[in-house]
Structure 1
Amino acid sequence: MAETTVAEVMAELAALEDPRTREVNRRHGDDHGVNLGMLRALAKRLKTQQELAGQLWRTDDAAARLLAILICRPKAFERQELDVMLREARTPKVHDWLVNYVVKKSPHAEELRRAWFADPDPVVASAGWALTTERVARRPEGLDLAGLLDIIEAQMKDAPDRLQWAMNHCLAQIGIEHTGHRDRAIDIGERLEVLKDYPTSPGCTSPFAPTWINEIVRRQQGR
């Protein structure tokens, strides 16, 4: 399907549109009605097509942008391209996939992390925090973990939802991965009570940082 056109792909996406899926997605802030399993199957059939990915992104359609993320070459994007794309990605799923599937694999990830971390736009800043959380877990060398906890302690309680969620994830990751900061991370979570009452399905771990930290540490220790 190397010669597949944008029009052909958009027609396929339209055929996959389901009103019930759209309603479920709408409740999570996403504006498309395509089942993600079907979207991934379409991406698998299309395979990697960087030029088509760019064309699909420019349609400004959420399902098309998710598909673009799946068929692009993450390392092919310039830093400025990724910055523009992130600022265009306003729905949660597109934003999350762009950060996790593209930016994290980019050679520009660290530079963008630094640029986005303190951005005045809280949605952009949440991407900076997501990339920071990745470093906390995988490459913490050079990070000021105590300084990150200072920022979280001062700002997380009143942060907008998307930014608050990203900061909370970073708090939990610090507590999970770094024993020297674990007690303070748990203490911050207990005092701020962010996501303490978040509804959690049976079998899932609560996003409330103290609970999250203690549960993952327990699993890691095999108790």
Structure 2
Amino acid sequence: MEFEMVMQELEALGKERMKKMYINNGAHEPLFGVATGAMKPMSKIIKKNQPLAEQLYATGNYDAMYFAGVIADPKAMTEEDFERWIDGAYFYMLSDYVVAVTLAETDIAHAVADKWIASGDELRMSAGWSCYCWLLGNRKDTEFNPDKLANMLVQVNETIQDSPERTKSAMNNFMYTVAISYVPLHEKAVETANSVGPIEMKREGKKSSILHASENIQKEVDRGKLGFKRKYVRC
């Protein structure tokens, strides 16, 4: 009964205002419109439950898929599992904030993210770059190869302007995250952000967003956030 009970609870937590906001960002039916914070009491009871997470993710319901990421057991997931999850991630809030976040808590994160970045597929690339953002914001600097990250900054500098729209956003976040959370390459990330300049991200049916990594980096430096690390990847 656990699956049915979770779905009923999610439906009861749904709000029309949140549903409209999610749809405005690319979600589509089925969904209930549950605020992420409203899921916390249920997640504290369930904790990690990979079989249930798989059931929920397979529904195609945005809220159920998001909650699947909250209760997933990343260490129990294989590369094939993550490929299946990214196949089901039909817009960026799933690829970058569910799949990439969950992947960032595994030992295969680097290998899978590298594969996705090289895939040429917009949301896989976006998830790959986003996964590195989650990793850099949580793991110790010593867990990364500085030469590899430096080469990734070169890749951003050379390709971001011609990349797919959601990938642009994730690459922009990568520059920012390296600059703030990976101190050994702070200067190089700042140079890259200055070289890239403002990025226009086109959005279907909406006004374009202009992304300014260099401005955002400076704001965080001014706030004393250089070297910032999160205690946990997932909330």
Class of the TM-score when normalised by the shorter of the 2 chains: 0.7 to 0.9
CA-CA distance at 1:87 after TM superposition = 2.1
User: Percent same amino acid at aligned positions?
Assistant: 24
Give the secondary-structure state (helix, strand or coil) at the position aligned to 2:107. Answer: coil
Letter in 2 for 1:13: L
| Structure 2 match to 1:111 | 111
CA-CA distance at 1:217 after TM superposition = 2.2
| Structure 1 match to 2:129 | 129
Structure 1 residues 81 and 214 mapped into 2: Cα distance closer, same or farther (>3 Å)? same
| Structure 2 match to 1:202 | none
With 48-57 and 126-135 compared, the bigger mean Cα shift is at 126-135
Distance, in Å, in 2 between the alignment partners of 1:134 and 1:49 is 22
CA-CA distance at 1:43 after TM superposition = 1.8
Matched, 1:188 2:195: yes
Distance, in Å, in 1 between the alignment partners of 2:25 and 2:124 is 18
Task: Give the TM-score taking structure 1 as reference length.
Answer: 0.81
Letter in 2 for 1:194: I
Letter in 2 for 1:9: V
Structure 1 residues 56 and 179 mapped into 2: Cα distance closer, same or farther (>3 Å)? closer
CA-CA distance at 1:211 after TM superposition = 0.6
Distance, in Å, in 1 between the alignment partners of 2:68 and 2:135 is 26
User: Counterparts of 1:118-197 in structure 2 under 5 Å?
Assistant: 118-134=118-134, 138=141, 139-176=143-180, 177=183, 178-190=185-197, 193-194=198-199
- The CA deviation string for residues 153-182 of structure 1, in whole angstroms up to 9 with x for no partner, is 222113222100111111223334324414
Larger radius of gyration: 1
Matched, 1:211 2:215: yes
Distance, in Å, in 1 between the alignment partners of 2:199 and 2:46 is 42
| Structure 1 match to 2:230 | none
Distance, in Å, in 1 between the alignment partners of 2:179 and 2:37 is 33
Matched, 1:20 2:17: yes
CA-CA distance at 1:207 after TM superposition = 5.1
Letter in 2 for 1:22: K
Distance, in Å, in 2 between the alignment partners of 1:135 and 1:105 is 8
| Structure 1 match to 2:62 | 62
Give the secondary-structure state (helix, strand or coil) at the position aligned to 1:95. Answer: helix
Number of aligned positions between the proteins? 208
Task: Give the TM-score taking structure 2 as reference length.
Answer: 0.77
With 98-107 and 156-165 compared, the bigger mean Cα shift is at 98-107
CA-CA distance at 1:210 after TM superposition = 1.2
The CA RMSD over aligned residues, in Å, is: 2.5
Distance, in Å, in 1 between the alignment partners of 2:38 and 2:72 is 17
Contact 1:133 1:169 in 2 (8 A): yes
Structure with more relative contact order (C-alpha pairs < 8 Å, separation 6 or more): 2
CA-CA distance at 1:47 after TM superposition = 2.6
- The CA deviation string for residues 75-110 of structure 1, in whole angstroms up to 9 with x for no partner, is 001111112211211233222332454101112112
Contact 2:96 2:130 in 1 (8 A): no
Matched, 1:86 2:86: yes
